[in-house]
Structure 1
Amino acid sequence: MSNSAASAVLTTGDLSEAIRAVRTLLDLADLGQAEVDFEAVVRTPGVLAQVRHVLPDLQWWALAGKEHGSAEAGDDPADCLPIRVFDWCRPLDRAEPFIAALGPDPAAVRWDLGAWPAVPEAGLEEISQKYAYLTLSVNSRDLYQDEPSQDHTVHVHVRDGDGDQIARVHWLAARVDGRFTGRVELAPL
């Protein structure tokens, strides 16, 4: 198993600004085999209903632990709130409806990209699918919803431990009028 380095490049209280940044970065990436993954903490029946409308076959378990309820056990998630949601390998068109469904609840939406592009003027080669990811943390500053917040953070992922990739992080940040904040989280792949 390897890790990617998820670098925060934009934090904003304006969700529409964060979504615009994500769209800009997606326009740069190879989306040929891209898919999107979701993680969230859902706390209220209203948000749960909206999220289930977007992802009807939702995978989840009670925040208190699977023994307190899970999709796997056939439990009703409304009886087990708050719940942790994990849903992977969805089509890209599910991302924005999922984000809109969240209300104030924290989540991470991760786009698994085909590649980050080559940037010859910066001396960067194309970076493969294995290390090409983009995450939007909604109502949270981190990838795992451990730091709930009223703002949203865009993270770009590159190969962990590859010093040359810091140039890529700066280049990607500049595309969205952001800046590399120095905050990096390891993300298991």
Structure 2
Amino acid sequence: MSNSLAAAVLTTADLGEAIRAVHTLLAIADTERIEVDFDAVIGSPDVLARVCDVLPGLEWWASADPERGSSEAGDDPAGCLPIQVMDWCRPVDRAEPFIAALGPEPAAVRWDLDGWPEVPEAGLEPISQKFAYLTLTVNSRDLYQNEPSQDHTVHVHCRDRNGDQTARVHWLAARVGGRFTGRVEQSTL
């Protein structure tokens, strides 16, 4: 297991604006073999039903006590609410239906990219897949739903060969009308 640093570049109460920012950043990134990962806390039976329609075979465990129930044990998630969802390597077309299914529940959606491109005019070299991710936190300010909120934050993950991500983070933030807030979180990959 490795880690990445996720830098907040846009926080907005407008989910549509956040999704447009994600689309803008995806258009910049190398997305040839893109996958999407999901992390959420679900406490509502209605949201659970909608999410299960979007992500059949959902991986989950009981939030309060993982021993109390999990997808691995074949338990019914509706009887174990609230549950923690952590589902990996899904097709990119599942991201927006998942976000729409959430309602007010907090979640993180992470796009695993093939890389960030070279930007010669900004002095930026290409970044490989190992350090190129994009995360949208929905109804949460942080990657792990510890800070529920009514807004949404776009985070970019990137590190150049020198270990300095600041120049690229500022450049990507400017592409979406945001700015690097200085807030960086460690993300488990």
TM range (shorter): over 0.9
Aligned to 2:105: 105
Amino acid in the other structure paired with 1:77: P
Amino acid in the other structure paired with 2:132: A
Q: Map Cα deviations across residues 10-64 of structure 1 (whole Å, 9 max, x no partner).
A: 0000100000000000000111111000000001000000000000110000011
Amino acid in the other structure paired with 1:80: C
Q: How does 1:16-165 map to 2 (within 5 A)?
A: 16-159=16-159, 162=162, 164-165=164-165
Q: Map Cα deviations across residues 87-124 of structure 1 (whole Å, 9 max, x no partner).
A: 00001000000000000000000000011011101111
- Residue 159 of structure 1 and its aligned partner are, at CA, apart by 2.4
CA distance in 1, matches of 2:161, 2:76: 43
8 Å contact from structure 1 (residues 14, 151) kept in 2: yes
Amino acid in the other structure paired with 1:43: G
8 Å contact from structure 1 (residues 3, 160) kept in 2: no
CA distance in 1, matches of 2:44, 2:179: 34
CA distance in 2, matches of 1:10, 1:135: 11
The RMSD of aligned alpha carbons is 1.3
- Residue 69 of structure 1 and its aligned partner are, at CA, apart by 0.7
Aligned length: 189
DSSP-derived class of the 2:158 partner: strand
CA distance in 1, matches of 2:158, 2:3: 9
Q: Map Cα deviations across residues 59-83 of structure 1 (whole Å, 9 max, x no partner).
A: 0000112111100111100000000
Give structure 2 stretches of 5+ with no counterpart: none
8 Å contact from structure 2 (residues 125, 160) kept in 1: no
- Mark the CA change 1:67 to 1:2 in structure 2 (over 3 Å): closer, same or farther: closer
Q: Map Cα deviations across residues 115-156 of structure 1 (whole Å, 9 max, x no partner).
A: 101110111111000000000000000000111001000000
Amino acid in the other structure paired with 2:8: A
Give structure 1 stretches of 5+ with no counterpart: none
- Displaced runs of 4 or more, over 3 A: 160-164
Amino acid in the other structure paired with 1:174: A
- Residue 4 of structure 1 and its aligned partner are, at CA, apart by 1.5
CA distance in 1, matches of 2:163, 2:66: 39
- Mark the CA change 1:115 to 1:161 in structure 2 (over 3 Å): closer, same or farther: closer
TM-score by length of 1: 0.97
8 Å contact from structure 1 (residues 4, 160) kept in 2: no
DSSP-derived class of the 1:134 partner: strand
- Residue 164 of structure 1 and its aligned partner are, at CA, apart by 3.5
TM-score by length of 2: 0.97
CA distance in 2, matches of 1:138, 1:2: 24
- Correspondence 1:14 to 2:14: yes
DSSP-derived class of the 1:167 partner: helix
DSSP-derived class of the 1:98 partner: helix
Amino acid in the other structure paired with 1:50: R
